[in-house]
């Protein structure tokens, strides 16, 4: 692709209209240009993306691909109304935005995510932004480029669009070989929080609370803190996740010197054309070493009463949320098994037709659904109260919603599990387990260690280095 293939004159015309809009309203206005471009390998963009920008967003799912760098404008909000606050901020900005070009209007416009709970942390509790350069690809291979700048009402230079076009060309022309896994370096250390013994005691204490009727299910999380003397190559980490976790959504949010990355199998919600989709994902069982053992374990998961009870709780809660905004909701009577490379889960697909598509926003659905019983518990208030008091750390963005939204406020969000927070030399991995009546502390410990494996693989930690972990004090 040549820089001349990007329509700078068209973008300049849109920029001029946005400038007039900004001056008329005495407030900043967005100028966005969209056009189709030749297909680009997303994995080949990973290295130049992280080399050229400290603000990046990566989304590689079975349904869509989004690669973005830079920010034209940010939207942040705090408190329990953070989802509605982001929506209000975007609606105000969209009201004065000027867009043009032959590209699809329904492509992503806003990217980012939310912390698990509305509490201050390394990353904002709610952060979404309009990227300066965004490349999206549909499953059919159609690839669209969006370029955005924020126009100030005061007189400014006209090099904003030109610089953005140059940045987009530099990114695309730098796309190349997919990143290779990073080698394990001497001096890498690992600490589990809480320790194995503390975790088992916490699981036992939680099952006691369930027996007393305090709640039906609580989802507890653990951390695995890995320190490397040389830091981490995020492009290699994401490339490895993409190659080793087929069917999952590989994601990354990088901002303010922090990165949150992972490969999640759990889709929170997708909204397109008035059709909403979610998934109930619960219960876990390892994969077998042989085809015969694998088949036995698969059948055992379907027949396991504890697993079925855990999954029914999640399905019923999601169904209830869909019933509030949908005219029809379709939920299969029986779950099926979702097979992943090292784990399998019970899975139920939930589909609804939105009752009022004109006013629906994917953020409204995110607010209704988050946190699902798969990452919080049930009943919600009692379980979250227990989790907040019991866990010896703040979750940050772990198990929060991450995703994107377009101009029509449709979009897609995933639950950010199988993930890690990366800053400088430290990667903090997260894994959680749903605790219900009959949960066995030793089995739940092993489940968390299985759930750490996708990120451990991506960080190139070999099996010989995984056990025993050094315990926290």
Active site residues: 200, 266
Per-residue DSSP letters for 130-150?
E-SEEEEE-TT--EEEEEEEE
Please report which residue ranges of 184-271 form alpha helices under DSSP H: 196-211, 234-244
Strand partners, 30: 150
Backbone angles phi, psi at 248, to 5 degrees: -90, 165
Please identify which residue in the block is written with the tokens 């991450």.
Answer: 402
Between the alpha carbon of residue 401 and those of residues 127, 211, 266, 473, the distances in Å are 11, 31, 10, 31
Structure-derived torsion over alpha carbons of residues 393, 383, 261, 230, reported in degrees to the nearest 10:
20
Are the C-beta atoms of 282 and 259 separated by less than 8 Å? Answer: no
Interatomic CA distance for residues 178 and 157, integer angstroms: 37
Between the alpha carbon of residue 353 and those of residues 22, 23, 63, 137, 348, the distances in Å are 38, 41, 19, 25, 17
Strands 126-130 and 133-137, sheet pairing: unpaired
Please identify which residue in the block is written with the tokens 């030109």.
Answer: 162
Q: How many CB atoms lie within 10 A of CB 86?
A: 24
Q: How many CB atoms lie within 10 A of CB 293?
A: 12
User: Phi/psi zone of residue 324: left (φ > 0), alpha (ψ -120 to 50 degrees), beta?
Assistant: alpha
Interatomic CA distance for residues 113 and 448, integer angstroms: 24
Q: Give which of 152, 163, 160 is closest to 18, Cα–Cα.
A: 152
Instruction: Retrieve residue 309's tokens.
Output: 């009870």
H or E stretch at 36: strand 29-37
User: Phi/psi zone of residue 228: left (φ > 0), alpha (ψ -120 to 50 degrees), beta?
Assistant: beta
């Amino acid at each position: 692709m040549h820089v001349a293939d990007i329509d700078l004159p068209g973008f300049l015309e849109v920029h001029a209209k946005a400038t007039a809009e900004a001056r008329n309203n005495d407030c900043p206005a967005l100028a966005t240009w969209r056009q189709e471009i030749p297909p680009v390998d997303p994995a080949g963009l990973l290295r130049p993306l992280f080399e050229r920008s400290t603000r990046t967003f990566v989304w590689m799912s079975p349904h869509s691909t989004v690669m973005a760098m830079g920010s034209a404008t940010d939207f942040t909000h705090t408190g329990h109304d953070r989802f509605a606050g982001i929506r209000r901020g975007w609606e105000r900005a969209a009201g004065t935005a000027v867009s043009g070009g032959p590209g699809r209007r329904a492509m992503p416009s806003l990217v980012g995510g939310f912390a698990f709970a509305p509490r201050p942390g390394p990353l904002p509790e709610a952060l979404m932004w309009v990227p300066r350069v965004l490349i999206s690809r549909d499953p059919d291979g159609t690839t669209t480029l969006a370029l955005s700048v924020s126009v100030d009402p005061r007189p400014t230079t006209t090099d904003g669009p030109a610089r953005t076009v140059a940045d987009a060309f530099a990114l695309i022309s730098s796309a190349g070989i997919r990143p290779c896994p990073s080698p394990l370096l001497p001096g890498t250390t690992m600490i589990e929080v809480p320790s194995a013994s503390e975790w088992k005691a916490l699981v036992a204490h939680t099952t006691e609370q369930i027996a007393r009727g305090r709640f039906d299910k609580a989802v507890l999380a653990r951390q695995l803190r890995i320190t490397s003397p040389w830091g981490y190559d995020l492009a290699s980490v994401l490339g490895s996740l993409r190659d080793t976790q087929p069917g999952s959504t590989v994601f990354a949010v990088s901002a303010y010197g922090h990165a949150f990355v992972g490969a999640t199998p759990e889709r929170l919600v997708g909204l397109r054309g008035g059709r909403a989709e979610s998934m109930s994902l619960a219960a876990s069982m390892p994969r077998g070493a042989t085809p015969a053992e694998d088949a036995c374990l698969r059948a055992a998961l379907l027949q396991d009463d504890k697993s079925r009870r855990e999954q029914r709780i999640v399905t019923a809660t999601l169904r209830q949320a869909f019933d509030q905004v949908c005219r029809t909701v379709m939920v299969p009577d029986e779950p099926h098994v979702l097979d992943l490379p090292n784990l399998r889960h019970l899975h139920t697909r939930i589909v609804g037709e939105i009752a009022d598509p004109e006013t629906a926003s994917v953020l409204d659905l995110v607010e209704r659904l988050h946190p699902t019983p798969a990452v919080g518990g049930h009943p919600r208030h009692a379980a979250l109260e227990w989790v907040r008091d019991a866990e010896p750390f703040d979750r940050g963005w772990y198990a929060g919603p991450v995703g994107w939204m377009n101009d029509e406020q449709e979009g897609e969000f995933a639950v950010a599990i199988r993930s890690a927070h990366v800053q400088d030399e430290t990667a903090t991995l997260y894994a959680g387990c749903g605790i219900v009546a009959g949960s066995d502390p030793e089995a739940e410990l092993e489940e968390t260690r299985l759930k750490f494996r996708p990120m451990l693989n991506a960080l190139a930690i070999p099996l010989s280095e995984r056990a025993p972990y050094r315990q926290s004090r």
